[in-house]
């Protein structure tokens, strides 16, 4: 019985090693590319943030991604080196470790990972304290103007009552920029969740319970308009969704948030035969 040709075995081994190296290189560098794109996307959002609380959230995400790049990037670099070093034709026989060899490297690596995890926990808690758990959210923004809005979710519509507006808004909600909008969110039937993803807002609407959230949009670029007494007021628009599966009409439980300037908001409210509350016309701040 004839054996296989050693030269063929070497060629097959080299071919397999090259394919393996190419596969892992694709995995590693593909992951780095995706991570880099994610980092750039979040960093750009942080630079062009529209206001509170999304600016705090975006800056936290950028910081966490930077920490992940430091810790995870070093790990990926080591893996990449090992894949290249031990792939054919560079593969060499592994040398047995001496007792205690590399223990300081492992120790420092472990300490570094624990420090990164601890920093992430404290930064996340800080961001939560500045946003969702803020006792006095008006202190987090550069304005003295506030507007109160009561939000009630029911299958499958949002009912929103803003101070000074003489009727309930449903398919759309109009609010002023440079004004802290305070939301009281509840539900009339099942659990819903009031969410405006672009502004960093997500608050559960629970029957018999009122949850609070706040947001502020710094300015208006005029991507769309809102009609008021024959005028077209420049506005920006954001989508309101239900973020909790609430029944067969869940996907259609949407509304639009329109943000106009404080001056245009007064024009719009007066066109609705309403009155802008004093809290939304307070002087000071931005």
CA angle 76, 77, 83 (to 5 degrees): 85
d(CA 278, CA 182): 15
More confident residue, 19 or 92: 19
**70-103 tens-digit pLDDT:** 777 777 777 777 777 776 665 666 667 678 777 7
Q: Spell out the domains of the chain, with CATH numbers in brackets.
A: 7-92+102-130 (no CATH), 145-280 (2.60.40.420)
Split at pLDDT 50, 70, 90, the class of 239 is: very high
d(CA 183, CA 130): 16
**132-160 tens-digit pLDDT:** 877 788 888 889 999 999 999 999 999 99
Residue 99: its pLDDT value, please? 80
Nearest to 198 by CA among 23, 89, 55: 55
* Antiparallel, parallel or unpaired: β 231-242 and 201-205: unpaired
d(CA 117, CA 111): 10
Asked if the model's pLDDT at residue 3 lies above 60, the reply is no
Across all residues in the chain, what is the average pLDDT? 84
More confident residue, 166 or 122: 166
Residue 37: its pLDDT value, please? 78
**21-76 tens-digit pLDDT:** 677 777 777 777 777 777 777 777 666 668 899 888 888 888 877 777 777 777 77
Asked if the model's pLDDT at residue 108 lies above 90, the reply is no
Asked if the model's pLDDT at residue 197 lies above 60, the reply is yes
Split at pLDDT 50, 70, 90, the class of 177 is: very high
Could you give the C-alpha distances from 276 to 48, 69, 170, 231, 257, in angstroms and in order?
A: 29, 48, 19, 18, 18
Residue labelled with tokens 């894949």: 83
Mapped onto helix, strand or coil, the DSSP state of residue 59 is helix
* Antiparallel, parallel or unpaired: β 146-154 and 157-162: antiparallel
Q: What's 201's DSSP letter? A: E
Residue 243: its pLDDT value, please? 94
């Amino acid at each position: 019985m004839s054996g296989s040709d050693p030269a063929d075995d070497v060629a097959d081994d080299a071919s397999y090693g090259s394919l393996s190296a190419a596969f892992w290189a694709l995995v590693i560098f593909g992951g780095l590319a995706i991570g880099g794109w994610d980092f750039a996307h979040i960093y750009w959002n942080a630079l062009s943030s529209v206001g509170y609380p999304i600016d705090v959230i975006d800056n936290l995400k950028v910081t966490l991604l930077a920490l992940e790049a430091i810790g995870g990037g070093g790990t990926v670099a080591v893996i990449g080196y090992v894949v290249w070093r031990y792939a054919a034709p560079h593969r060499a026989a592994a040398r047995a470790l001496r007792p205690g060899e590399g223990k300081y490297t492992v120790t420092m690596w472990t300490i570094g990972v624990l420090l990164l995890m601890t920093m992430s926990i404290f930064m996340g808690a800080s961001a939560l304290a500045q946003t969702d758990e803020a006792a006095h959210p008006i202190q987090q923004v550069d304005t003295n103007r506030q507007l109160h809005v009561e939000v009630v979710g029911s299958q499958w519509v949002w009912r929103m009552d803003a101070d000074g507006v003489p009727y309930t808004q449903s398919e759309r909600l109009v609010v002023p920029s440079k004004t802290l909008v305070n939301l009281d969110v509840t539900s009339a039937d099942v659990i819903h969740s009031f969410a405006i993803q672009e502004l960093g807002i997500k608050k559960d609407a629970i029957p018999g319970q009122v949850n609070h959230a706040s947001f502020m949009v710094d300015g208006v670029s005029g991507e769309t308009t809102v009609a008021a007494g024959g005028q077209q007021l420049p506005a920006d628009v954001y989508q309101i969704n239900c973020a909790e599966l609430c029944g067969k009409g869940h996907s259609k439980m949407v509304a639009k948030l329109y943000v106009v300037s404080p001056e245009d908001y007064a024009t719009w409210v007066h066109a609705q035969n309403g009155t802008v509350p004093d809290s939304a016309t307070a002087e000071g701040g931005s």
